[in-house]
Amino acid sequence: MRYLNLGVLAHIDAGKTSLTERLLFQTGVIRKLGSVDAGTTQTDTLALEQQRGITIKAAVAVFINGDVQVNLIDTPGHPDFIAEVERALSVLDGAVLVISAVEGVQAQTRVLFRALQRLRVPTLFFINKIDRRGAQETELLARIAEKLTPAIVPLGTTRDLGTRAVAYRPFDAADPVHFAFLIDRLTRQSDAFLAEYLADEALITPDRLQAELAAQTRRGLVHPVLFGSAITGAGVEDVIAGIVALLPTAEGDPTQPAAGSVFKIERGAAGEKIAYVRMTSGVVRVRDRVQFGREGEGRVTAVAVCEPGGVVRAAGVAAGQIGKLWGLNDIRIGDALGTTRHHADARHFAPPTLETLVVPARTTERSAVHVALAQLTEQDPLINLRQSSTDQDTVVSLYGEVQKEVIQETLRRDYGLEATFLESTTIHIERPSGSGEAIEVMGQPGNPFVATIGLRVEPGPLNSGITYGLEVELGSLPLSYHKAVEETVRRTLTQGLQGWEVLDCRVTLTRSGFDSVGSTAGDFRNLTPLVLMSALQTAGTQVFEPLHRFQLEIPADTYGHVLPVLARLRALPQTPVLHERVYRLEGLIPVARVHELHLALPGLTRGEGVLEYAFDHYQPVRGPAPTRPRFGPSPLNRQEYLLEVVRRVPGRATNAGGADGR
């Protein structure tokens, strides 16, 4: 059996979950089609998903076609749950990007396709809802070529488009027109195939052309396009055939050491942690002791594998399969299993741009609410839970208001806890304005820690996050001390001079020293924030606010009412395009003002305005920089920081017998 781990992705309401349901029905996994509206689909199993009619958590369903088992991962389409999509991307062999034939290429469609391209995930396009009035074919193909990629290969056409009688007709590879189109498209993408064609075009048969199409699709050079309707079933058989014939199957050797990637965490009925893992090689069996992440290790107490019809308990999960593991209590999303352990910190989408303060309805439940939110953070690390040192305030990061409502409802349904989520505020970031250095030497007055640390802070490349380097010899400190400094640097920079996370920053260790008897890793963890923030104060920081790129469709006669509101909200619209008495505008708007635009739009446009948006970039804040309350001991106030952090007898610091690396 070969395995194909397939992602189904789409903008919300494009029909992604309906396609998943139809694929399972057509392949005999289910006997009756479920409905998103009725909450009866196989993959939307959460009560909140059924109630709202949206996918919130990624889910796995399995079907078999020939000798290929397709592990189908249904992902959320709503932008508030983009983090679920991000985690699924790491385990995909291929993807189907669903686009509505009526709404066309939408904001989230572009965000998703850019991520798939960055990760080189082979992708098919499925144009859904061809049975709906207003469905497009030729115009939509042009829009895909313009907005997504020109390297598309339509594999068929439609008849009776926009009616319930619609049908999909695949092209015949031997048809001269389609044959010529394929030759032109595929030779453009491959010099080797072009040379083969020029050497002897008679050797390029329809079968050879189909083989080249599959090869280029698997390499991500071209993207086949299929049309259909998940509701009527039109074209879905061709989608199944295309998935199996054109996308790569998983390659992995079950005889090799066990290796895999964790892409989802959930809690069982008894509160136990369950890890979803995609295996890339080897086998993980019950009672195996496995390594994960950077330093994690645990014994597997139970295993289940995803098969057609559901998840079944098994003795082990092997290369190519997706399974669930019990017993690994410290495992996290992004952890890799096996000897090449790591934690995947790379982000493929923008981080959350909103945050909210969570206030328990009963003060006696403050701790319980924090514990529950911490468990939800296991399932969604980008929630980024923060809590003050006095346990009085809990803040969570968000992608949007729908996500906030879902978290609030999850606390109530799953944990029996009532809490108020205050008005969301925008998350800003800080970037260094210049370069700054600082040093603390052990044994000198004012330094109670048995450590010497020198750090330099300077701006890094745009979108580089935090980079850390050394100007001292690696052997100048024990490895654990080096790790303590680097980890503390990254943690400390989550709160800059104004309280916001510092990004696009390069930090360099310029000097180090320790006492072979008296130093501990704790000395380096406690001293690093003082040195780092002193260097950052010298460098200075600038605060940036997030901007969304928006798409707005409004009736033409309401343009004069909408434009002043956009100006008031500091939006920067581009020149509008008029299409059949509808203005289409694109532009930029501060994240902080999007909610206001949402509220105002129905009244301005008689309820006919349509707004879509996605994160674009950060821009410098104009005027006074906003600040964010600090959590925990502040190294910006040396006296208060030392009073709270130092837990040793004064005078312990010494420089006797130490080593000083430069």
Task: Check residue 35 and give its pLDDT.
Answer: 59
Task: Check residue 560 and give its pLDDT.
Answer: 93
Task: Check residue 207 and give its pLDDT.
Answer: 92
Residue 332 CA, distance from chain mean position: 15
Q: Does domain 430-539+630-661 have CATH number 3.30.230.10?
A: yes
Residues 6+ apart with CB under 8 A from 61: 20, 24, 29, 42, 43, 72, 74, 306
Topology of domain 259-337 in CATH is Elongation Factor Tu (Ef-tu); domain 3 (2.40.30)
Averaging pLDDT over each range in 281-285, 319-323, 430-434, which range is the top one? 430-434
- By the 8 A CB rule, do 251 and 259 touch? no
Q: What is the pLDDT of residues 193-239, one digit of tens each?
A: 999 999 998 889 999 999 999 999 999 999 999 999 999 999 999 99
Task: Check residue 450 and give its pLDDT.
Answer: 95
Task: Check residue 392 and give its pLDDT.
Answer: 65
Give the architecture (CATH level 2) of 354-427. 2-Layer Sandwich (3.30)
Task: Check residue 615 and give its pLDDT.
Answer: 83
Return the percentage of the chain with pLDDT > 70, whole number. 89
Give the mean model confidence (pLDDT) for residues 102-107.
Answer: 86
* Whether pLDDT at 251 is above 50: yes
Q: What is the pLDDT of residues 116-143, one digit of tens each?
A: 888 899 999 999 999 999 999 999 999 9
Q: What is the pLDDT of residues 25-45, one digit of tens each?
A: 999 888 877 655 445 555 544
Q: Does domain 545-620 have CATH number 3.20.20.100?
A: no
Q: What is the pLDDT of residues 512-555, one digit of tens each?
A: 999 999 999 999 999 999 999 999 999 999 999 999 988 898 99
Q: Measure the CA–CA gap between 542 and 503, rounded to whole angstroms.
A: 11
Task: Check residue 510 and give its pLDDT.
Answer: 97
DSSP E strand boundaries for 240-314 = 259-267, 273-281, 283-285, 289-292, 296-299, 302-307, 310-313
Q: Measure the CA–CA gap between 109 and 3, rounded to whole angstroms.
A: 26
* Whether pLDDT at 456 is above 60: yes
> What are the residue boundaries of the structural domains of the chain, listed by start?
2-246, 259-337, 354-427, 430-539+630-661, 545-620
Task: Check residue 555 and give its pLDDT.
Answer: 92
Q: For the chain, what is the mean pLDDT?
A: 87
Averaging pLDDT over each range in 137-141, 361-365, 419-423, 475-479, which range is the top one? 137-141
Say yes or no: do domains 354-427 and 545-620 share a fold.
yes
- Its pTM stands at 0.70
Give the mean model confidence (pLDDT) for residues 149-155.
Answer: 96
Q: What is the pLDDT of residues 293-310, one digit of tens each?
A: 877 889 999 999 988 878
Q: Measure the CA–CA gap between 483 and 159, rounded to whole angstroms.
A: 63
Give the architecture (CATH level 2) of 2-246. 3-Layer(aba) Sandwich (3.40)
Task: Check residue 661 and give its pLDDT.
Answer: 55
* Whether pLDDT at 502 is above 80: yes
Of how many residues is the chain composed?
662
